[in-house]
Amino acid sequence: MANALANATSPYLRQHQDNPVDWRPWTAQALADAKAGDKPILLSIGYAACHWCHVMAHESFEDAAIARLMNDNFVCVKVDREERPDLDHIYQSALAAMGEHGGWPLTMILTPDGDPFWGGTYIPPEPRWGRPGFPDLLRQLIKVYRDAPEKITAVTDDLATALRAKSTRAPSSEDPKNIDALAKWLAGIMDTTDGGFPGAPKFPMAMALDFLWRGYLRTGDAAMKTAVITALDRMCQGGIYDHLGGGFSRYATDDRWLVPHFEKMLYDNALLLGVLANAWADDGSPLYDVRVRETVAWVLREMTTEAGGFVSSFDADSEGVEGKFYVWTAEEINTVLGAQDAQIFGAAYDVSTGGNWEGQTILNRSAAPELGDGAHEKSLGSMGAKLLAARGARIVPGRDDKVLADWNGLMIAALARASITFREPSWAAAAAQAFDRVCGFQSADIRLCHSTLGEAKNSVSFLTDYGAMAGAALALFEATGQADYVAQAERWIGVLDDQFLDAENGGYFFTPLDADPLILRPHHATDDATPSGNALVADALARLFYLTGKDGYRQRAEAIHRAFPPAEDHDVVGLASLLMAAEVLQTGLEIVVLGEPDDPATQALIHAAHVSAPPHRILHWLAPGQILPRTHPGTLGPTHPAWGKYQLDGMATAFVCIHQSCSLPITDVHALKSHIANIASTSREKQS
Question: In this predicted structure, which of 127-131, 185-189, 502-506, 550-554 has the lowest mean pLDDT?
Answer: 127-131
Buried b (16+ CB within 10 A) or exposed e, 94-103: bbebbeeeee
Over residues 36-46, the pLDDT tens digits come to 999 999 999 99
Residue 171 neighbours by CB distance under 10 Å: 16
pLDDT at 166: 77
* pLDDT cut 90: percent of the chain above it: 87
pLDDT at 454: 92
For domain 179-317+400-586, which architecture applies? Alpha/alpha barrel (1.50)
Mean pLDDT along residues 478-501: 95
Over residues 449-469, the pLDDT tens digits come to 999 999 998 879 999 999 999
In the chain, which residues fall in CATH 1.50.10.10? 179-317+400-586
Over residues 157-179, the pLDDT tens digits come to 999 999 988 776 555 545 557 99
pLDDT at 171: 53
Angle between helices 179-188 and 222-237 (to 10 degrees): 50
| pLDDT level of residue 631 (50, 70, 90 thresholds) | very low
pLDDT at 172: 53
Residue 528: alpha-carbon gap to chain centroid: 9
Residue 26: alpha-carbon gap to chain centroid: 24
Mean pLDDT along residues 317-346: 96
Buried b (16+ CB within 10 A) or exposed e, 246-270: bbbbbbbbbbbbbbbbbbbbbbbbb
For the chain, the maximum distance between any two Cα atoms, rounded to a whole number of angstroms, is 86
Q: CA-to-CA distance for 206 and 579, rounded, in angstroms?
A: 14
Mean pLDDT along residues 1-12: 89
Over residues 633-680, the pLDDT tens digits come to 555 777 788 888 889 999 999 999 998 899 999 999 999 999 999 998
Closest alpha carbon to 20 in 60, 48, 51 = 60
- Residue 543: CB partners within 8 Å, gap ≥ 6? 471, 474, 584, 588, 618
**Is 210 in contact with 274 (CB distance < 8 Å)?**
yes
Integer angstrom CA distances of residue 478 from 60, 399, 685: 51, 32, 30
**Is 544 in contact with 620 (CB distance < 8 Å)?**
no
pLDDT at 336: 98
The DSSP secondary structure of 93-145, one letter per residue, reads HHHHHTT----SSEEEEE-TTS-EEEEES---SS-BTTB--HHHHHHHHHHHH
* pLDDT cut 70: percent of the chain above it: 97
Mean pLDDT along residues 302-319: 95
pLDDT at 169: 59
Three-state secondary structure call for residue 86? helix
The pTM (predicted TM-score) of the whole model is 0.96
Mean pLDDT along residues 420-435: 98
The domain over range 11-167 is classified in CATH as 3.40.30.10: yes
Three-state secondary structure call for residue 260? strand
pLDDT at 89: 95
Over residues 381-392, the pLDDT tens digits come to 999 999 999 999
DSSP code, position 262: -
Question: In this predicted structure, which of 79-88, 189-198, 453-462 has the lowest mean pLDDT?
Answer: 453-462
Closest alpha carbon to 47 in 106, 131, 125 = 106
Q: CA-to-CA distance for 242 and 239, rounded, in angstroms?
A: 7
**Is 243 in contact with 385 (CB distance < 8 Å)?**
no
DSSP code, position 75: E
Q: How far apart are the first and last CA of the chain?
A: 70
In the chain, which residues fall in CATH 3.40.30.10? 11-167
The CATH class given to the 588-687 domain equals alpha beta
Which H or E run includes 480? Answer: helix 463-480
Q: What is the mean pLDDT of the chain?
A: 94
Mean pLDDT along residues 72-84: 97
**Is 439 in contact with 468 (CB distance < 8 Å)?**
no
Mean pLDDT along residues 358-381: 94
* pLDDT for 625 beyond 80: no
* pLDDT for 4 beyond 60: yes
Question: In this predicted structure, which of 80-94, 164-178, 544-558 has the lowest mean pLDDT?
Answer: 164-178
pLDDT at 563: 94
| pLDDT level of residue 83 (50, 70, 90 thresholds) | very high
| pLDDT level of residue 498 (50, 70, 90 thresholds) | very high
Q: CA-to-CA distance for 646 and 655, rounded, in angstroms?
A: 10
**Is 385 in contact with 255 (CB distance < 8 Å)?**
no
Backbone angles phi, psi at 412, to 5 degrees: -60, -45
Q: CA-to-CA distance for 311 and 453, rounded, in angstroms?
A: 9
Cβ-in-10-Å burial (0-12, 13-18, 19+) of 79 comes to: buried
